[in-house]
Amino acid sequence: MLLSKMQADPSNGLVIFGVGLCVGLVCMISAMRQGQVCANGIVGVSQGHDVFTNTLIYAALPEFYAILGLVGALMV
């Protein structure tokens, strides 16, 4: 998909690299936060609290930011 943009104008290489770097950073931060949410949910369930459904819902929120970052990169 990016190859067609590079063939049209080779000077877009730095822009494409920057977009990829930003998306990678957003996805990395999103993954770390999602891991923290899931780990806290696991601790809550192991302590006997009824937080399984809330954990699933809250775990989807950081993933949404990663998806938005990907969609934003595809729009560029």
**Structure confidence by residue, pLDDT tens digits, 28-37:** 999 999 999 9
| Whole-number pLDDT of residue 67 | 94
| Whole-number pLDDT of residue 6 | 66
Question: Model confidence at 75, in pLDDT bands (50, 70, 90)?
Answer: confident
Nearest to 5 by CA among 19, 23, 22: 19
Residue range 1-20, pLDDT digits in tens: 666 666 767 777 788 888 88
Q: Is the pTM of this model over 0.85?
A: no
Average pLDDT of the chain to the nearest whole number:
88
